[in-house]
Amino acid sequence: MQPLPQTGRRRVVIENVTPQVDGGRFAAKRVVGDMVVVQADVFADGHDEVRARLSWRHRNDASWHESEMEPLGNDRWQATFPVGDVGRYEFSVSGWVDHWRTWVHDLKKRVDAGQDVTVDLQIGARIVGTAASRATDADHASVLKQASGQLTTRAALDPGLSLLIDAYPDLTEATSLNAPLAVVVDPVRARFSAWYELFPRSASPDPKRHGTFDDVINQLDYVAGLGFDVLYLPPISPIGRQFRKGPDNREGGTAADPGVPWAIGGSTGGHTAVHAQLGDLGGFDRLVHAARTRGIEVALDIAFQASPDHPWVTEHPEWFRMRPDGTVQYAENPPKKYQDIYPFDFESTDWRGLWQALNEVFRFWIGHGVSIFRVDNPHTKPFAFWEWCINDIKASHPQALFLAEAFTRPKVMYRLAKVGFSQSYTYFTWRNNAVEMREYLEELTRPPVSDFFRPNFWPNTPDILHADLQTGGPAAFEARLVLAATLSSSYGIYGPAYELGESTAREPGSEEYLNSEKYQQRTWDLSGGARLRGLITRVNRARHAHPALQANERLLFHATDNPNLLAYSKNTDDQRDVILTVVNFDYHATQSGSIELDLAALGLPDDAPFEAVDLLDDQTYAWNGLRAWVKLDPEVRAGHVLWLRHLP
């Protein structure tokens, strides 16, 4: 015989609780100011009335908050709770059979049928009496005790009595989740941000002089003027000299070549040291402060690898993989060889020491005012390391954010998000027609993916110059910018290559830039690129002015009769801010077509005119009804970003 359960009187079932990630194995993600919507299936056998309750707290809270869940129909229940602080929250759902509500429901039917309810009132009085014994308020206990002693049909059906009994439910046999579910709450910038990538060594106006932190400070007004709020810097550590690469990744570079910033470490230090030609830590601290006064946060690239000159190579040889010939295994992606970079061996016998040392790298830069990190190739390091490291850091620095640079398989990217990464690079760059883009965004912006994965869209990076940008001309740069900045609430560009329309590949079929900044210092003439710079500025201005563009949850696609056109909208929960974007994927020819608008979803009238104001050029269009016609000439504009508003 099977052993009996600890209690056979617990009849309520709780299923399909949302949000939860992998059955509660990982935390869902939200940002400060969100209302977390919790839903669950809560039901019991038979026909008894069921109630459900949501409990929640910030992990630092001593006590739980509670609220009644409301039925949505078909045994689905919902309640919400606010998250006002960064950090980790936890919540639970409980459900129980409510004998009083069940009794009242049955009493009404018996009274309506004209039945004798004398015995039923005695049963009800007993239920009221037990509620009186649970009451913590003396006045309430007195009222309930009095009601139980002389319960009449009229008193039993008084809603006031039910409200009082509801306040003191019998939870003896309530069902609760086996363990609370978690929600990690990040700063708003985790969901809404605009990144600008800049190589500090190229910030010098003099091509003969290496750029410095002070040169970057001098460019902050330019970056702020474009409307970006995150300045992302590639690694600023010393660069190794052994096997240093020359221009365009040429082997056999000389000491005159600046080297690759990702070949980290030299005689002056490793991951917590500063490249001497950039300045010193004091200069970096000035940069962080100067950026923050302009509303910009500095994001730092963290690449967990080492040059052959990194101090750890000699101090901790056990952290690297040795080859049979006694040399250290360098990075490879055959046929490519990266002799200037040594990967860490995460299967090292001293893996604990390695983990702790890498954790301290983050903590060092947090101590210098950095709270945002772009992590290079995290998918080549163990998931277990990231889960421990990120959770450990966020326990004491919950404001810290981590962007995963992981252009790899979908399940790997998603796992990195689950173990703690705040944002991730995506496949946006390689979604190059309207159908592909729509399918991809509907995956990213819907649960369950949206509960843990926050996309950050980049039309280009120092590693990626997509074929569309190589051949599409200015219209491709404009269209991809509009798509990135309006489809995703977080996006970034590698500039000034982007605003200047840099489009020459190293060789045919390559996504590598010719004369890439990864291998040499560049001096950019920022007097050019006025049209694209103006578009970037207006797009970022629209993003800051319109809350609809600051989240992804309410992204909605609208049908068009032209496959070259992608039409989509975002709006706020109250539908007071509605933005419709239309982009032409044909960068060489004019495309026009009709858009079928879902007016109900947009909160717009179906029988009255409304305005569409283009936030990119201030032109206003008068529209009426569910169909709108657009025409996009890539010589004039690659897309519309339209603010839809009611006419007075």
What is residue 495's DSSP assignment?
T
From the candidates 215, 340, 345, 376, which is the catalytic residue? 376
Helices (H), 235-320: 281-293, 311-315
- 8 Å CB contact between 315 and 267: no
Please tell me the distance from the alpha carbon of residue 568 to that of residue 557, in angstroms, as a whole number: 4
Which residues neighbour 524 within 8 Å (Cβ) at sequence distance 6 or greater?
202, 496, 497, 500
Please tell me the distance from the alpha carbon of residue 324 to that of residue 49, in angstroms, as a whole number: 72
Per the annotation, the verdict on 451 as an active-site residue is: no
Please tell me the distance from the alpha carbon of residue 100 to that of residue 109, in angstroms, as a whole number: 14
377 three-state secondary structure: coil
Two tokens, residue 602: 């947009």
- Going 160 to 162 to 166 to 168, the CA torsion angle's sign is positive
Partners of 342 in the β-ladder: 306
- Going 138 to 141 to 145 to 151, the CA torsion angle's sign is positive
| Total residues found in the chain within this entry | 648
Partners of 378 in the β-ladder: none
> What are the Cα distances from residue 56, in Å, to 24, 61, 64, 468, 495?
15, 10, 6, 48, 43
Which residues neighbour 510 within 8 Å (Cβ) at sequence distance 6 or greater?
none
Pairing type for strands 372-376 and 297-302 reads: parallel
For residue 197, how far is the Cα from the chain centroid?
Answer: 19
- 8 Å CB contact between 513 and 502: yes
Burial of 502 (0-12, 13-18, 19+ CB in 10 A): buried
Amino acid making up residue 29: K
Alpha-carbon Rg for the chain, nearest whole angstrom, is 30
Which residues neighbour 252 within 8 Å (Cβ) at sequence distance 6 or greater?
246
- Cis before 448? omega within 30: yes
For residue 290, how far is the Cα from the chain centroid?
Answer: 26
**3-class DSSP string for 551-619:** CCCCCEEEEECCCCEEEEEEECCCCCCEEEEEEECCCCCCEEEEEECCHHHHCCCCCCEEEEEECCCCC
Please tell me the distance from the alpha carbon of residue 223 to that of residue 229, in angstroms, as a whole number: 8
From the candidates 98, 229, 405, 586, which is the catalytic residue? 405
DSSP string, 37-87: EEEEEEEESTT--EEEEEEEEETT-SS-EEEEPEEEETTEEEEEEE--SSE
Please tell me the distance from the alpha carbon of residue 171 to that of residue 157, in angstroms, as a whole number: 23
Per the annotation, the verdict on 280 as an active-site residue is: no
Task: Tell me which residues are annotated as active site.
Answer: 376, 405
